[in-house]
Amino acid sequence: MALGEFELIRRYFRRDDGPRNPAVSLGIGDDCALLQTTPGMQLAVSSDMLVEGRHFFPDIDAEALGHKALAVNLSDLAACGARPLAFTLALSLPHADEPWLERFARGLFELADVHGCTLMGGDTTRGPLNICITVVGEVPAGQALLRSGARPGDELWVSGTLGDARLALEALQGRRVLAPAALETSRLRLERPTPRLALGLALRGIASAAMDLSDGLAGDLGHLLSASGCGASLDADTLCGLLVASAAVPDPKDRLALVLGGGDDYELLFSAPAAQHEAVRAAGRAAGVALTRIGRLEGAPGLRVIDAQGRPVHGRYASFDHFA
């Protein structure tokens, strides 16, 4: 690298005068970062890796990439009801492209600063473009939202909208034609996901189970159902209504496939006892995010999608699996 490794870190990632979460006692520069833990809290830790060609197109805007790399990690903290503290960044770069680094760092820190999440360390190496972030958050001991707490009779909810990121992906891959305006809005959903941190915090003590949607509703819900040992039925019409670009997708079956097969939505999927219905609504209002009740948990295992006449809708709703 023309720009040395340490100069690169100093110039783009080490912000000695930047905001710092008080939990970070020691940040970038030593062999380890030091985090001050709070008595009575548990640390919540999660990693996500973004690989060029696999998770993003080579021509993605660097600022959007910086945003997304952190957003998908923060989304995991949101799913657990954890508050972000700090993160590490392991970065493999083909070369030290300064305008690229500047944009990447801008997207990254803009989101980090919104959530008070401090870059505390990492690793930098030359290689194919690959970004691995590990986030650390905290949650009062025993209060983390897990996938395993859903019970038959609970209502099933999602935040925001679903399917538009997948729609953009298919358009960018040339598998679908979208009008420029529809491509623009759906592309924002793909490249600029919003981690639902305020909602995750507001759902502590209310949701019985929660997770974030990264690989598509049908598959991700399957994980929640198996962790909780129950099944679910979903309302087809309600699901169809979750796609924003509905005018671009006139066929309801096609809409349903986008919403259920989706991927890259980064919304929260959660269950809550029916008695918490109003508390859930209040949590959505407090967090400033729309919530939709999409169905109900049932004792019978499996996932059923039911139409307005009460009939099961059949279809294969493939969710994303890197090794399938």
Using DSSP bridges, classify how beta strands 24-26 and 34-35 pair: parallel, antiparallel or unpaired.
Answer: antiparallel
Q: In whole angstroms, what is the distance from residue 234 CA to residue 305 CA? A: 5
| Dihedral of alpha carbons 159, 76, 138, 188, sign | negative
By CB under 5 A, what part of segment 49-108 binds Mg ion? Answer: none
Contacted by 30, from ligand ADP, Mg ion, none: CB < 5 to 8 Å by type: ligand ADP
Phi and psi at 55, nearest 5°, equal -110, -15
Give me the residues paired with residue 303 across strands: 232
Cα-Cα end-to-end distance for the chain? 37
Q: Which residues contact 120 (CB under 8 A, 6 or more apart)?
A: 24, 26, 27, 28, 33, 35, 86, 87, 88
Residue 321 binds to Mg ion (criterion: CB under 5 A)? no
Q: Considering the complex, what minimum distance in angstroms separates the CB of residue 67 from ligand ADP?
A: 16
145 close to 210: Cβ distance less than 8 angstroms = yes
For ligand ADP, the binding residue among 81, 84, 122, 195 (CB under 6 A) is 122
Residues 87-106 as x/- pattern, contact with ligand ADP by CB under 6 A? --x-x---------------
Identify which range of 31-39, 141-149, 176-184, 313-321 contacts Mg ion by CB under 5 A.
Answer: 31-39
Q: How far apart are CA 240 and CA 245, in angstroms?
A: 11
Q: Rule CB under 6 A: choose which of 121, 137, 200, 261 binds ligand ADP.
A: 121
Residue selected from 17, 30, 251, 321 as contacting ligand ADP according to rule CB under 6 A: 30
Min separation Cβ 247 and ligand ADP, Å? 42
Closer residue to ligand ADP, CB minimum distance, 93 or 150: 93
Q: Rule CB under 5 A: choose which of 31, 59, 251, 321 binds Mg ion.
A: 31
Which residues lie near Mg ion (CB under 5 A)? Answer: 31
